[in-house]
Amino acid sequence: MKPIAIFNTDTIPTELAREHGQYPDMFIKSLSAVNSALRFERFDVNKQQYPQSLNEYAGVLITGSQSAAYDSDEWIELLKQRIKAMENDRVPLVGICFGHQIIHQALGGSVVNAPGGWCVGVHRNQLTESAVRYGTPGDSFTLLSSHQDQVVSVAPGTNVLAATDYCPIAMTSIGDHLLTLQGHPEFTRDYAKALMDKRRAAIGEPVYQRGVNSLVEPLDDGQALQWMLNVFSHACA
């Protein structure tokens, strides 16, 4: 079974990582709960660390980040080049939050700082008419969110699969090999709360309170994690 390459795009502060781990740790824990046979390898692409070849991997998972997909940092520009190459080769690819955003930014879409401000807490994603493989259009699933940027135009060839009230482009696919989600199926409620606490002043009190209050709502993260694994399934067999 080939491992999944996790392209890590952030370094969580020590005070949070001590309890919750880094983003690759969160993905490994949550995805392994769905399939304990999975294997993973981590690459800190925010430090320009990449595998020599992707041939030995089931595919690539790009994590969330505090960085912006439209920033011009050298590592972000390099990651966009790698995304273009992976799409050209039809490498199985999943992007979460920043990963969702930078995939579209790299492939011809557009990401902006949302004028509505922060989106935090539990949010309901409604399936579109294009999401027949994921459920009945109009059905919904809930995920934790933590973002201020959002995709406002998608890469050519994209299917928009789900939307939230705040984020019209919340889940997308290209063919069978690429899936992106704005929400965070890897987050725990405890980490979402800790992140909101850390950003409370920037988020603003009304949005912070709504986000904290929403944490009692049920989550459909298991379903989203399975969708992610389906992208890699043919290579993981």
Q: 37: which DSSP letter?
A: T
> Is 119 annotated as catalytic?
no
Per DSSP, the three-state class of 171 is strand
* One-character DSSP codes across 81-115: HHHHHHHHTT--EEEETHHHHHHHHHTT-EEEE-T
Q: Which domain holds residue 34?
A: 4-236
The CATH number for 69's domain is 3.40.50.880
20, 97, 167, 177: the catalytic one is 97
Give the tens place of pLDDT for each residue, 143-185: 999 999 999 999 999 999 999 999 999 999 999 999 999 999 9
> Is 186 annotated as catalytic?
yes
20, 104, 147, 184: the catalytic one is 184
CA distances from 166 to 122, 187, 192 (A): 12, 19, 18
- Model pTM? 0.96
Give the tens place of pLDDT for each residue, 83-92: 999 999 999 9
Name the helix (H) or strand (E) containing 2: none
> Is 184 annotated as catalytic?
yes
Please tell me the total count of domains within the chain: 1
